[in-house]
Chains A and B, each alone.
Chain A
Amino acid sequence: MPVKQRTAMPMQDPKERTHNFEQVAQGYTEEMALAEAARCLQCKNPACISGCPVAVDIPVFVKQVKEKDYQGAIDTIKATNNLPAVCGRVCPQETQCEVKCLLSRTGQPIAVGRLERFAADWEAENGAGKVERTSSSGRKVAVVGAGPAGLTCAGDLAKMGYDVTIYESLHAPGGVLIYGIPEFRLPKDVVRREVDYVRKLGANIETDVVVGRTITIDELFEDGYEAVFVGSGAGLPMFMHIPGENLNGVYSANEWLTRINLMKANRFPEFDTPVKHGTTVAVVGAGNVAMDAVRCALRLGAEKAMIVYRRSRAEMPARLEELENAEQEDVEFHLLTNPVRVLGNDKGWVTGLECIKMELGEPDKSGRRRPVPVPGSEHVLECDIVVMALGTTPNPILSTTTPGLNAHDWGGLLADETTGRTTKPGVWAGGDAVTGSATVILAMGAGKAAAKDIDEYLSGRRRDWSRPG
């Protein structure tokens, strides 16, 4: 009988870790990885693979870990996943591969993500770092955005022999991995390593290029590109449209996290970009981004950091692990609480968040019970920083500068769910640009599916262009 409990992940102590940006989850040691890998049942018909958006051959790589063939394990993962050190850290495995694991019927599922991270980190330390580079066919594909979707798509296309160039608008590649997810969850050295791998596969990355402004998609075609994949990611942050949202001290989560992660404002004045630290920080929302934002607030020195969320704990979109991490770090949770106004002083600085209590009513379209306000329950949470973590709408630059590339009313690009084909022949799209705020791995899955379909299209196997609804 396998051990029912999975091998615990060594964690930095909550009291200490809120004072630094070092990794919270410190990664399995070899002994831990071997113990965990030994739990795998090696199912004849493994269900876990079908739960993985990029179809990693999980039983095979776990077996290789168990046999101490770590290079074999990472090679197996990299056959389908270009960013394993990232996925091993930030994927919501509990709702994807691990939820399908047979072991979860009698105990805890195998810790796929932790083993994936172990294999990737092993390679970073011990691997030869040699990458087989497919010789180029000379056929050119452009990828817009060097985030998870774009890096995955570009890596796969390079493996197939296409001549791929990624155009990135920021000064550093990585997209949300570099500007959004904090160092304590995903060290930027890890991101740089993964980006370097995609480069070694043969993808060229050009930063400081805003496709739609510096060059248009039609110009890319005129200049010899045969296909374009759009993975432009999150766009404008959403706000609540309540009074006081433009007071000094109100941030979008995108701005808050970009200042800290990309620009290193937590190290101001060593780095030139500042950020307000705040004594009491209120973060509105309860997704992974909200958890990242509130935990950054603590690490910047806030005495109190709060999550304000209009539904209850059960409806929170954040990964359970991130929620638990935040709870361990003494984040204060104000659930069934909805902001109605940001309060400020006579100089225009935030002094508090006026909220109303909510109760759960009938289920709404999303199936979650709709929160309704409790009359007369208005109250004020005192704070000096408010961070709105309510999601984003896709960036409007491409849809407004590319004739034929159609978007939904809310801004998301229209794209076929299985292939990523857009309304413009020769243009694919995937990731947050299509779905709105979602996860790294879903974006990677979309990038992967698009790469496969781009190959089908360019090789002439599936040349007809059926438009998505």
Chain B
Amino acid sequence: MCVAGVALATRLEEKQEDSRMNEILVKKLLTPVTKLMVVKNPYVAAKVQPGQFVILRVREKGERIPLTVADYDREQDTITLVFQEVGLTTRLLGQMEAGDSILNVVGPLGVPAELPEKGTVLVAGGGVGVAPCLPKAKEMHTRGVKVISILGARSADLIILEDQMRACSDEVYITTDDGSRGFHGYVADQVRVLLEGGLKVDEVVAIGPMPAMRAVCDVTKPFGIKTWVSMNPIMVDGTGMCGACRVSVGGKTRFCCVDGPMFDGHEVDWQEAWRRANVYRDEEKIANDRCASCGGDR
């Protein structure tokens, strides 16, 4: 395995001396609440497959959080992360600028998505969930799968990665909750309109906030269409050691970090997943307030 002509292991051995490791090369505001960063990490860039994620840490006292890899460039040794500032760590990350380096990035983690080789796939992304849809849509498009994409957001200004998604989709539908652009309604409503209108798809990939994924699953279930979702539970190590990320799928406990993050959405226990995602809501508030008062001491 070579990265830019140098054996991967040889480069790994020099990783700690590489001052540009995990350097943020590009930082872009996709919307007022969503940021994109292109990060240098030859090892993740060399190996990552659609569906996989990284765990990162932004400071010595920092927590470990998972972020799905939204794009990668094996030639340029980079991965692309897209995130919304929802918690302390994503806020701190959002304060970092091009030229800064992220303290730790480890990956790729999780099982690559099982993508079909042919047929038609409906890719439904809501909000920042469009980002993890991108590598899957790209890969399927390359394989010759017909990709129909739905990009949804609360309002027109929050639609992200439209050009990139258009480049790998055969058809694109835009939905907004407030009707400011495209279809007026939720992503799941657009899915329902398409399916009830007779659209034939072999699979659905739905990624977004948990209620949105669940809603899409509710729509596709009566049609009997396999629907993949990408779960994003709380993780600590992210490598199959702590068990924080357990998700009930088909009545069985699965570990999102080593069995996921993609699961059959019709089998997921959504109520439990939602409850577990909010375990630390009180602590998140404490951390966020503290961060706001000290201006995020990195």
Q: How far is the CA of A209 from the CA of B104 in the complex (A)?
A: 10
Q: In the complex where A209-B15, A209-B43 touch, is A395 in contact with B241 (Cβ < 8 A)?
A: yes
Q: How far is the CA of A233 from the CA of B239 in the complex (A)?
A: 12
In the complex, the answer to whether A209 meets B242 with C-beta atoms within 8 Å is: no
In the complex, the answer to whether A224 meets B239 with C-beta atoms within 8 Å is: no
Checking A220, A224, A233, A274 against B280 with a beta-carbon cut-off of 8 angstroms, the contacting residue is A274
For B242, the chain A residues whose CB sits under 8 A away are 237, 252, 254-255, 258
Q: How far is the CA of A235 from the CA of B255 in the complex (A)?
A: 11
Range, interface on chain B: 35 or more
Q: In the complex where A169-B106, A396-B258 touch, is A254 in contact with B243 (Cβ < 8 A)?
A: yes
Checking B107, B248, B276 against A213 with a beta-carbon cut-off of 8 angstroms, the contacting residue is B107
In the complex, the answer to whether A214 meets B57 with C-beta atoms within 8 Å is: no
In the complex, the answer to whether B47 meets A235 with C-beta atoms within 8 Å is: no
For B88, the chain A residues whose CB sits under 8 A away are 272
Checking B7, B12, B63 against A214 with a beta-carbon cut-off of 8 angstroms, the contacting residue is B12
Q: In the complex where A171-B57, A248-B279, A254-B242 touch, is A223 in contact with B7 (Cβ < 8 A)?
A: yes
Q: How far is the CA of A426 from the CA of B8 in the complex (A)?
A: 19
The answer, yes or no, to whether A404 is at the interface (CB within 8 Å) is no
Looking at A234, A255, A268, A348, which has the most chain B CB atoms within 10 Å of its CB?
Answer: A255
* Segment from B30-38, B162-170, B283-291 that makes contact with A: B283-291
Distance in Å from the Cβ of B71 to the closest Cβ of chain A?
A: 18
In the complex, the answer to whether A273 meets B275 with C-beta atoms within 8 Å is: no
Range, interface on chain A: 35 or more
Q: In the complex where A263-B63, A274-B280 touch, is A246 in contact with B248 (Cβ < 8 A)?
A: yes
The answer, yes or no, to whether A206 is at the interface (CB within 8 Å) is yes
For B275, the chain A residues whose CB sits under 8 A away are 248, 347-348
In the complex, the answer to whether B243 meets A236 with C-beta atoms within 8 Å is: yes
Q: In the complex where A169-B237, A248-B276, A255-B243 touch, is A274 in contact with B64 (Cβ < 8 A)?
A: no
In the complex, the answer to whether A208 meets B287 with C-beta atoms within 8 Å is: no
Q: How far is the CA of A236 from the CA of B1 in the complex (A)?
A: 29
For B12, the chain A residues whose CB sits under 8 A away are 165, 167, 206, 209, 214-215
In the complex, the answer to whether A397 meets B15 with C-beta atoms within 8 Å is: no
Give chain B interface residues in 88-147, CB to chain A under 8 Å.
Answer: 88-89, 103-109
The answer, yes or no, to whether A364 is at the interface (CB within 8 Å) is no
Q: How far is the CA of A278 from the CA of B8 in the complex (A)?
A: 46
The answer, yes or no, to whether B253 is at the interface (CB within 8 Å) is yes
- Interface flags for B251-278 (1: CB within 8 Å of A; 0: not) read 0010100100000000000001001100
For A216, the chain B residues whose CB sits under 8 A away are 1
For A210, the chain B residues whose CB sits under 8 A away are 106-107, 109, 239
In the complex, the answer to whether B57 meets A219 with C-beta atoms within 8 Å is: no
The answer, yes or no, to whether A122 is at the interface (CB within 8 Å) is no
Q: How far is the CA of A335 from the CA of B103 in the complex (A)?
A: 45
Q: How far is the CA of A215 from the CA of B2 in the complex (A)?
A: 11
Q: In the complex where A246-B276, A270-B61, A273-B63 touch, is A206 in contact with B106 (Cβ < 8 A)?
A: no
The answer, yes or no, to whether A195 is at the interface (CB within 8 Å) is no
For A268, the chain B residues whose CB sits under 8 A away are 283, 286-287
Checking B9, B47, B106 against A223 with a beta-carbon cut-off of 8 angstroms, the contacting residue is B9
The answer, yes or no, to whether A17 is at the interface (CB within 8 Å) is no
Give chain A interface residues in 385-421, CB to chain B under 8 Å.
Answer: 392, 395-397
Q: How far is the CA of A385 from the CA of B105 in the complex (A)?
A: 31
The answer, yes or no, to whether B40 is at the interface (CB within 8 Å) is no
In the complex, the answer to whether A274 meets B283 with C-beta atoms within 8 Å is: yes
The answer, yes or no, to whether B246 is at the interface (CB within 8 Å) is yes
Q: In the complex where A215-B43, A245-B253, A272-B62 touch, is A395 in contact with B272 (Cβ < 8 A)?
A: no
Distance in Å from the Cβ of B143 to the closest Cβ of chain A?
A: 23
Q: How far is the CA of A206 from the CA of B40 in the complex (A)?
A: 17
Which residue in chain A gives the minimum CB-CB distance to B289? A269
In the complex, the answer to whether A259 meets B236 with C-beta atoms within 8 Å is: yes
For B1, the chain A residues whose CB sits under 8 A away are 215-216, 219, 222-223
Distance in Å from the Cβ of B288 to the closest Cβ of chain A?
A: 10
For B64, the chain A residues whose CB sits under 8 A away are 171, 263, 273
In the complex, the answer to whether B106 meets A171 with C-beta atoms within 8 Å is: yes
Q: In the complex where A204-B13, A208-B106, A248-B275 touch, is A223 in contact with B8 (Cβ < 8 A)?
A: yes
Q: How far is the CA of A239 from the CA of B284 in the complex (A)?
A: 27
Q: How far is the CA of A225 from the CA of B1 in the complex (A)?
A: 13
For A213, the chain B residues whose CB sits under 8 A away are 47, 107-109
Distance in Å from the Cβ of A435 to the closest Cβ of chain B?
A: 16
The answer, yes or no, to whether A102 is at the interface (CB within 8 Å) is no
The answer, yes or no, to whether A160 is at the interface (CB within 8 Å) is no
In the complex, the answer to whether A276 meets B279 with C-beta atoms within 8 Å is: yes
In the complex, the answer to whether B61 meets A215 with C-beta atoms within 8 Å is: no
For B283, the chain A residues whose CB sits under 8 A away are 268-269, 274
Known: A236-B240, A239-B243. 17 other contacts (CB 8 A): A165-B13, A171-B106, A208-B15, A208-B106, A214-B44, A215-B47, A224-B10, A234-B241, A236-B255, A246-B246, A246-B248, A246-B253, A263-B64, A270-B61, A272-B88, A272-B287, A273-B64
9 residue pairs bridging A and B, Cβ less than 8 Å apart: A179-B241, A206-B13, A210-B107, A215-B47, A220-B9, A255-B244, A259-B236, A271-B62, A397-B240
- A-binding residues in B (CB < 8 A): 1, 7-10, 12-13, 15-16, 43-44, 47, 57, 59, 61-64, 88-89, 103-109, 236-237, 239-244, 246, 248, 253, 255, 258, 272, 275-276, 279-280, 283-284, 286-287, 290
